[in-house]
Amino acid sequence: MTQSPPPVPPDWWRSIFDEVYLQTDARSILDEDLTRAEVDAVIQALDLGREEAILDLCGGQGRHALEMARRGYGRVLVLDFSQPLLAWGRSQALREGRAVAFVRGDARSLPFGGGNFQAVLCLANSFGYGATRGDDRQILQEAHRLLQPGGRLFLEVADPGYVRAELPLQSWHEAPGDLVVCRRRWLTPDHLVCREMVLSRQRGLVRDCTYQMRLYEPEDLKASLAEVGFARVSVSQGREPHSRPRERGALSRRLAVTAWK
Ligand SMILES: C[S@@+](CC[C@H](N)C(=O)[O-])C[C@H]1O[C@@H](n2cnc3c(N)ncnc32)[C@H](O)[C@@H]1O
């Protein structure tokens, strides 16, 4: 087994979040109990009001936004880069008759004017994908720019302590359809690197890709947010929102940050 991680395309996140991802990560991202628990936590942490303008940044197929709409939150907008996930979310919103807006964009440079939102959410490990720290920083700058004065941010990332000490370096799990997802992981000083091979019993290999996420220590995260202008930054560690304690990859244990503009 090789010791050094394989190369990772710098913009890997542009192509990996598609229909296959909806299956490989279904155990988290299509788990309605988990989504409800995550939404409970955000509403409580930011004391979100139903009339507030809320941006679900890197919101994927809008599972949190849709759950919030079900609870009467009427001004939630999902921003994501992935066309397939946005299309999934739009269809679901249509089926349920929910007024959730889905917008395509790059979180490093958002297509909205400043001060448009009272809260920005970035949930379930959607941060730290940037090829450089500067890319990650641009996302935090944009979140800050979009908030009204007094607006707040809720950001979740993988807990680096868990990733370094407990996340298995090899794992596999069965996914919906006939898929088996095999992951091999490497730890570098800054990143968790993963090679993912997805096998279909009928079709053979359907995906072989590599990706990575930068691991942020709590102090590092606090400093990064303060640097772009956030105040009252607080980090809570050891959050395990899954109701069934089972290895769920980097999402198993998280850090959650709240910060104010
Ligand atoms: C792990 S998924 C999580 C999605 C969602 N927050 C959830 O909990 O289901 C990460 C998402 O971040 C999006 N993403 C990552 N980097 C992005 C960027 N620079 N601009 C827009 N979307 C981005 C991806 O397209 C993907 O949908």
Residues 6+ apart with CB under 8 A from 126: 57, 58, 59, 60, 156
Q: Is residue 104 part of a domain?
A: yes
> What's the pLDDT score for residue 245?
47
Q: Is residue 121 part of a domain?
A: yes
CATH of the domain at 231: 3.40.50.150
The number of domains in the chain is 1
Q: Is residue 235 part of a domain?
A: yes
Residues with CB under 6 A from ligand 1: 13, 17, 29, 58-60, 63, 80-82, 85, 106-108, 123-126, 129
201-223 confidence digits (pLDDT tens): 999 999 999 999 999 999 999 99
Sheet containing 204-214, strands listed edge to edge, beginning at the edge strand earlier in sequence: 170-175, 179-187, 191-200, 204-214
For the segment 165-192, the average pLDDT, to the nearest whole number, is 94
> What's the pLDDT score for residue 249?
75
Pocket perturbation via mutation, ligand 1, pick of 27, 32, 80 by most ligand atoms within 8 A of CB: 80
pTM for the whole thing? Answer: 0.95
User: Which protein residue's CA is at the shortest distance from atom 10 of ligand 1?
Assistant: 126
Report the nearest atom of ligand 1 relative to the CA of 14: 25
Quote the tokens at residue 147. 């908030």
Host domain of residue 55: 12-159+215-260
Lowest mean pLDDT among 5-14, 226-235, 240-249: 240-249
Split at pLDDT 50, 70, 90, the class of 253 is: confident
